[in-house]
């Protein structure tokens, strides 16, 4: 081998080692612990293997080839490029180590990384032993790959296999069709009013419940989707392992697959092993994008660390005006209904109203900050303003979900299937919004009993074939009861025993759940099954502060935009509200300029309004002479942060913006112009 060939070989080993530690290892580690990332993207074995090889080899191979080409023109330039690449890798690795070891952030983290990278490259240039050592480390990325393929939770996806019961077209009229829609991260408290009824703010859900049975005391048996959805689809408590057909062979699709045609679209589970739609585009391309985004967070100076699954969002497309959105998968689901179809099992799990909160009830998308509320890990900030703002945004996104439910019932009626079909609406689990408490119970902290109803209770509405009268049931129902209830309604005997019962027939007052949690920096674990009292849970739910937490205006079009205690001012003309003396403290509204110059010119609108004031106050933002938002403030450093959501119907492309301080709340609001 010539000297030049040996030098080029050493170049590759050095790049391979440096890239392996700085890039491949963190990405393979994160995705190795997140098999649901591959399930969500509907990745097969080939996709998973190709993804891992790309992560390990793509960057060093591309850099090495570039250096080889440049070396033919200028060996010195190629050498400089090589040193620059190694310096960047050293800096990226230093960011990760310094952040984990010392908790460094921001400018401090950048300075530390620059100093470490500089020291490393000086040592590399000056000492042959350092260069030899780095070349020897080229074995490490191979070990990272082996760990990913053999020892990570994702490795199970490379070996698991299962089949769904052979699906055939059943005889017409032999069974009613079944429609099951599983929404995501949707607490029952979000749709209830203080009287314990479904809120008039969600008319389509309310109309469906008027011809169905609403199981008001229904709860999930897990706080995490990879366990909660399998429980719905199998009728049994979840167990450790991936949410796949191999791990859960006794499921809805195998039970009904010989009786009903399958029309199924899952999100982060893969229990339907055949005849099911993909939830996203090409798997490998999507995974590479996920890896890029995840690595960006790993090396960010603010160290915003989130699992890849937190970036899963439903794909939307425009409809109507330039700002409206439709859920692509929900539209695909609706397209699956035909007036002349044979009996069919239609199943959809959709990641709504799950974060990120970005939709108004109309389907208009608004610009939102990157974090949905202030949370440290799973816990909300102790300041109530942040959790309340996130809760209101959930309610607004639930308004969007309500529109989808209306589209579904319209489609069923248009195809003549509404009366004859079994229709079930539910969600995998809920989410809590108690300041200082966990939102989902995903950390290792104990879950207070008061938080369980919001975290675990999820809407369950089931319409039987021919049912025309609504029923409200307070029976102790759990998500494992969905499958046996559906089987009963289609008069089908399940071919294996399940732990659930037909909804309403359970005599025990005990609720069960298996919690997913994780120690800091550790992998997620499934805790043993716990129990809690059903009656106490229902009482907590009905008296919860987050039930009917909006203004007393129960029928107004701006109800979801009027937080409780703020006078119900949104939508009112400023001239109709008592005015007081002007006040002169400093207030800045971040969206003021875009509201004045082109609020509806972009892909999203600035409906989420926020800014800072020099004192604690309730701020009213008026657009074109009407109050568009009211916002209490919360301390943020030496100033006070306020945030609110404005109705899209009150936002024009160019707006006259006025700010007011509101006093006399809640009964006698007075507006004081802010100079």
Cβ–Cβ < 8 Å for 631, 613: no
pLDDT value of residue 651 = 96
Confidence check: pLDDT of 520 > 50: no
pLDDT value of residue 117 = 86
Q: What's the pLDDT tens digit per position in 281-323?
A: 578 888 898 888 888 888 887 655 555 665 677 888 765 454 6
Dihedral of CA 459/460/466/467: which sign? negative
Residue 599 to residue 396: CA distance in whole angstroms: 20
Confidence check: pLDDT of 147 > 60: yes
Residue 34 to residue 309: CA distance in whole angstroms: 8
Q: Phi first, then psi: what are they for 224, rounded to 5°?
A: -135, 135
pLDDT value of residue 304 = 57
Look at 372 and 2; give whichever has higher pLDDT. Answer: 2
Look at 544 and 195; give whichever has higher pLDDT. Answer: 195
Average pLDDT value for residue range 338-364: 93
Give all strands (DSSP E) within 445-496, no chain letters.
Answer: 460-463, 471-473, 477-478
pLDDT value of residue 637 = 84
Look at 302 and 100; give whichever has higher pLDDT. Answer: 100
Residue 642 to residue 618: CA distance in whole angstroms: 8
Strand partners, 264: 276, 347
pTM above 0.75, yes or no: yes
Q: What's the pLDDT tens digit per position in 553-603?
A: 556 788 889 888 888 899 999 999 999 999 989 999 999 999 999 999 888
Mean of all residue pLDDT scores within the chain: 88
Three-state SS at 448:
coil
Q: Which residues contact 250 (CB under 8 A, 6 or more apart)?
A: 234, 236, 496, 498
pLDDT value of residue 575 = 96
Strand 178-184 with 422-427, pairing: parallel
**Burial, 118: exposed, middle or buried (Cβ in 10 Å; 0-12, 13-18, 19+)?**
middle
Q: Determine what percent of the chain is predicted with pLDDT higher than 70.
A: 90
Strand 587-589 with 618-623, pairing: unpaired
> What pLDDT band is residue 215 in, cutting at 50, 70 and 90?
very high
Q: Determine what percent of the chain is predicted with pLDDT higher than 90.
A: 58
Tally: H helices and E strands in the chain: 18, 25
Residue 356 to residue 312: CA distance in whole angstroms: 9
The one-character DSSP state at 364 is B
> What pLDDT band is residue 377 in, cutting at 50, 70 and 90?
confident
> What pLDDT band is residue 276 in, cutting at 50, 70 and 90?
low
Residue 298 to residue 94: CA distance in whole angstroms: 12
Of the listed ranges 1-10, 28-37, 435-444, 642-651, the least confidently predicted one is: 1-10
Of the listed ranges 57-61, 161-165, 459-463, the least confidently predicted one is: 161-165
Tell me which residue of 23, 87, 22 sits closest to 292, measured CA to CA: 23
């Amino acid at each position: 081998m010539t000297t030049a060939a040996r030098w080029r070989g050493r170049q590759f080993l050095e790049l391979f080692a440096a890239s392996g530690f700085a890039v491949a290892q963190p990405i393979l580690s994160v995705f190795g612990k997140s098999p649901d990332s591959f399930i969500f993207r509907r990745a097969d074995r080939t996709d998973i293997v190709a993804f891992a090889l790309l992560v390990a080899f793509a960057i060093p191979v591309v850099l090495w080839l570039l250096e080889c080409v440049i070396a033919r023109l200028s060996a010195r330039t190629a050498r400089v490029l090589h040193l620059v690449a190694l310096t960047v890798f050293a800096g990226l690795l230093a960011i990760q180590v310094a952040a984990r070891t010392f908790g460094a952030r921001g400018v401090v983290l950048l300075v530390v990384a620059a100093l470490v990278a500089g020291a490393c490259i000086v040592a590399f240039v000056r000492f042959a032993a350092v260069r030899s050592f780095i070349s020897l480390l080229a074995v490490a990325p191979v070990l990272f790959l082996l760990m990913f393929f053999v020892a990570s939770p994702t490795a199970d996806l490379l070996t698991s296999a299962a089949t769904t019961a052979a699906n055939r077209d059943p005889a017409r009229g032999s069974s009613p069709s079944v429609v099951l829609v599983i929404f995501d991260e949707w607490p029952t408290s979000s749709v209830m009013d203080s009287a314990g009824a479904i809120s008039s703010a969600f008319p389509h859900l309310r109309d469906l419940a008027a011809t169905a049975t609403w199981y008001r005391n229904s709860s999930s048996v897990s706080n995490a989707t990879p366990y909660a959805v399998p429980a719905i689809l199998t009728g049994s408590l979840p167990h450790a392992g991936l949410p796949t057909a191999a791990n859960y062979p006794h499921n809805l699709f195998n039970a009904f697959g010989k009786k009903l045609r399958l029309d199924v679209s899952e999100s982060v589970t893969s229990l339907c092993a055949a005849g099911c739609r993909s939830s996203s585009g090409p798997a490998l391309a999507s995974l590479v994008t996920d890896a890029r985004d995840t690595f960006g967070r790993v090396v960010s100076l603010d160290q915003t660390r989130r699992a890849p699954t937190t970036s899963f969002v439903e794909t939307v497309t425009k409809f109507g005006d330039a700002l409206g959105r439709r859920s692509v998968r929900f539209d695909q689901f609706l397209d699956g209904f035909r007036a002349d179809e044979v009996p069919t099992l239609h199943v959809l799990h959709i990641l709504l109203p799950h974060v990120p909160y970005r939709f108004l009830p109309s389907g208009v998308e608004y610009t939102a900050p990157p974090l949905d509320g202030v949370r440290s890990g799973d816990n909300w900030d102790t300041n109530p303003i942040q959790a309340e703002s996130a809760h209101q945004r959930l309610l607004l996104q639930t308004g969007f979900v309500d529109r989808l439910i209306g589209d579904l019932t319209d489609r069923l009626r248009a195809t003549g299937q509404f009366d004859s079909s079994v229709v079930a609406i539910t969600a995998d689990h809920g989410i809590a919004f108690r300041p200082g408490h966990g939102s989902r119970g995903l950390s290792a902290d104990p879950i207070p009993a008061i938080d369980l109803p919001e975290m675990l209770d999820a809407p369950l509405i089931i319409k039987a074939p021919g049912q025309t009268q609504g029923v409200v049931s307070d029976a102790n129902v759990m998500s494992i009861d969905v499958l046996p209830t559906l089987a009963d309604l289609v008069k089908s005997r399940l071919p294996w025993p399940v732990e659930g019962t037909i909804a309403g027939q359970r005599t025990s007052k005990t609720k069960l759940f298996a919690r997913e949690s994780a120690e800091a920096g550790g992998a997620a674990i499934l805790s043993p099954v716990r129990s809690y009292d059903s009656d106490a849970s229902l009482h907590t739910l009905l008296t919860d502060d987050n039930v009917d937490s909006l203004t007393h205006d129960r029928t107004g079009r701006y109800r979801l935009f009027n937080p409780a205690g703020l006078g119900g001012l949104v939508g009112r003309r400023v001239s109709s509200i008592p005015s007081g003396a002007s006040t002169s403290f400093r207030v800045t509204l971040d969206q003021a300029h875009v509201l004045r110059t082109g609020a509806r010119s972009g892909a999203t609108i600035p409906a989420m309004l926020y800014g800072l004031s020099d004192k604690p106050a309730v701020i009213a933002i008026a657009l074109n002479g009407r109050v568009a938002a009211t916002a209490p403030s919360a301390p943020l450093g030496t100033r006070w942060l306020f945030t609110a959501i404005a109705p899209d119907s009150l936002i024009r492309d160019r707006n006259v913006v006025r700010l007011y301080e509101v006093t006399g709340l809640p009964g006698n609001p007075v507006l004081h112009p802010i100079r």
